[in-house]
Structure 1
Amino acid sequence: MDKVVASAAEAVADIPDGATVAVGGFGLCGIPSVLIDALLTQGATDLEAVSNNCGVDEWGLGRLLFARRLRRMVSSYVGENKEFARQYLSGELEVELTPQGTLAERMRAGGSGIPAFFTATGVGTQVADGGLPWRYDDSGAVVVSSPPKEVRSFGGREYVLEEAIVADFGIVRAWKGDRHGNLVYRDSARNFNPLAAMCGRITIAEVEELVEPGELDPNNIHTPGVFVHRVVALTPEQAADKRIEKRTVTTP
């Protein structure tokens, strides 16, 4: 039952080339930065990442992106990462842009054993009709586009069928975790982390504070240990290394 491994390097050692990896976090909030760096050092390439966004230039998933280790992204937001936009528009990266709520539910459904679901989001748009550019060539022509999806009427309203996401690996960051893999997230870090933990066939969690089994209040556990296979305890320095996308201050 003790799922703690000695290091982040050991935790990601078996992630192979071509794997699909679900990554928790939103912007730079709650991202598993230590595991991402370990994966960068490990060397796996041709990866497909499922994450709300791709970090920023040179931090978070942006580090894997800069190293040309990502083949494909399933995400909802390009955001502040200029290299993400550049690689996508120049044909170096395939990107499946997905409405944010739909992406969250696709991940949750994958972790719940639900193969697909209907949602009203995207009906009447290219999300349902197909034709969203997934990959360009170096001249800017679309070479891969999204397929049309099934649309069905329920109660007089149309809904589009979305397939669940099940990743080979899920990597997440938690505020606290115990040796059995039970996790608690803090504030806004409880965003895509529970979903990434659910949808990974093998889920790895880095925790800022490791506690013993029984120390966490069962009523406050966000991800039960049944979803988690490996736990990495961060050092105080690693836990404190948190960055923000844009610093905004007021003038005294």
Structure 2
Amino acid sequence: MHSVVLVKQVPDPTGDRRLDRGDATVARDDADAVVGPLDLHALEAALTLREAGGGTVTALTVGPPRAAGALRQALATGADQAVHVVDSALHGACAPQTSAVLAAALRRVGFDLVLCGAASSDGRLGVMAALLGERLGVPHLSGLRALAVTGTTVTGERQTEDGWWELAAELPAVVSTHVLPDPPRRRTVAGIRAAQHRSVTTLTLADLGIDPATVGLAAATSRVVTADAGPARTPGRTGDPAELVRFLADRALV
């Protein structure tokens, strides 16, 4: 089975993040970059499936040259190969545009199962699995907290307000994951060293047959018009623990 994991390099969610003053896109160059936390869970799922049933795992990303770091991390963690779609025309691309580029890349590399995080920590849209499923003409299972593959069927569980939904689809398919039971594995020193010498396949929009005029900020379906800083945080209550307990008890009785 060939699993392709979408890994996105995002600004560190725990660090300072801001918008570029020029075009109101995320200022990525000034922020510490990490792989999207939920994408790491998707990668762990792909590696676990490979260990159980064989096959290969490809890491795929769309982003500027700096995003190659996300692919190196995936390779160091255990991915077999990596593909980087990089083109200056992609700056400011919206989710529908990105899904068109990813779909073209997926058709080129081939896949049985596509995995990605349920949402990125920068965009938080949570729609990529559905967009890719529609573009590729395959089923998608979104927001899974557990998944397995038996034969040619992928199954999983999605948590809802009413309990659990048990889902299933025939391969090929697209899956997005939330936090899974098995935590993402850590990179080893040997893996990091080996990843530095692994080749990464680079693709441009021309390689994928995509017109640059159809992607990027100028053609985006959405863009930031204005943004303001959030309200300043108010300090929390500190002091004697007994006083805090009484304070909370009084509010609970109101």
Per residue, is there more helix in 1 or in 2? 2
**TM-score, length-normalised on structure 1?**
0.33
**TM-score, length-normalised on structure 2?**
0.33
Larger radius of gyration: 2
